[in-house]
Each structure stands twice: as structure tokens, then as C-alpha cells.
Amino acid sequence: MNNSGLPNFDTMTPADFEQYLPEIFANGDGRVSTDPRLQKFLKNNPDCAALVRDLEAIADQARSLFAPSDPGDAVWTGIQSKLKMQGPEDDDLPIAQTV
């Protein structure tokens, strides 16, 4: 093993890879498939490469669930124009009823 507690990437077995995969993901940038240290191993172990692709796809989908979404300028402009159109006599009405 090297000094980071991970096995030697050149002599690692698929079992070693599966054991250390959580640590490899945690210590990297989340893109194990592009880690230069693992390119030879993943090329020689297509099942491990497929596992990495699947886990990266799952992680990407999970991140997208929590990504803030901006409704865009058109929505904000629409809200602003509706608020401007609402007169003082409409103060007690919900915005939807003033349209």
C-alpha cells in the first residue's frame, strides 16, 4: 500500500478496488473514471469500469436534485409587471386575482 492507505494501483485486484472505492471517490474530485492513476486498471477491468460509470451517473443525478434552479429573467419580469399592475385597491387580493 502507498502512504495514503490505498493499494498500489498497478497491482490492485478488483476486490481491492471494490474495498477502497468509497475512499477513492471521497479523496478525489468525484470523477474516478478520469483519475490518471486508475486508467490502466479500469481498462483492464471492464466490470470495475462499468461500476465506476454507474456510480458517477448516480452521483451526478443526486447532485442535480439539489441544484438550485433559477426560473429565469422572464419569470422575474412577469412577477414585477404583475406587481406594478396591482393598484392600491387590490392590496387585499392575491396577485393571481388581479390579472
Q: What is the pLDDT of residues 69-94, one digit of tens each?
A: 777 788 888 888 888 887 666 566 66
Rounded to the nearest integer, the mean pLDDT of the chain is 82
Q: Are residues 76 and 33 in the same domain?
A: no
**Residues 44-62: what's their mean pLDDT?**
93
In whole angstroms, how far apart are CA 40 and each of 10, 23, 78, 83, 97? Answer: 8, 19, 54, 60, 64
Confidence band of 17 (pLDDT split at 50, 70, 90): very high
Q: Domain of residue 93: give its range.
A: 71-99
Whether 53 has a pLDDT exceeding 90, the answer reads yes
Q: Are residues 62 and 75 in the same domain?
A: no
Pull the grid cell for residue 88. 392600491
Distance between CA atoms of residues 18 and 2, nearest Å: 17
pTM tops 0.95: no
Q: How many domains does the chain have?
A: 2
